[in-house]
Amino acid sequence: MDELSILEQQIEQLKAQLHQLETKRNQLLSLKPILTPEEKINIFSDYFKGNTQCYAIRWQNKEGRSGYAIACNNEWQQGVCLKPKIKCLECTNQSFKPLDHQAIYDHLIG
């Protein structure tokens, strides 16, 4: 056998091997599990650990300034929330929302 024939034979073997690997990859990709929202939240919670007593939410005003504030059950409640005169951290009516599955779900869906 000459060198050209050997190389052509190797090319054919590699093509067959590539075809087998592509078939196997496609089979494995089709087995990808579909996760429920609850499973996704659990995975997210496992990756990102922190204080679960409260969490921050992003705000943006009309002028484009933005920042973060602790999520509060009383935010903008008339007669309870004294914004913007008093900052949240100085408020005596604080009722911070705990970081729960619903808060994570709301975060993940945008």
Once rounded to an integer, what is the mean pLDDT over residues 22-43? 85
Confirm if 81 and 72 have CB atoms less than 8 A apart. yes
The ranges assigned to domains in the chain are 1-32, 37-109
**Two tokens, residue 49:** 């650990």
- Provide the pLDDT for residue 36: 86
**Residue 31: what residue type?**
L
**Residue 77: what residue type?**
Q
Confirm if 81 and 91 have CB atoms less than 8 A apart. yes
**Residue 92: what residue type?**
T
pTM of the model: 0.59
Q: How confident is the model at residue 1 (pLDDT cuts 50, 70, 90)?
A: confident
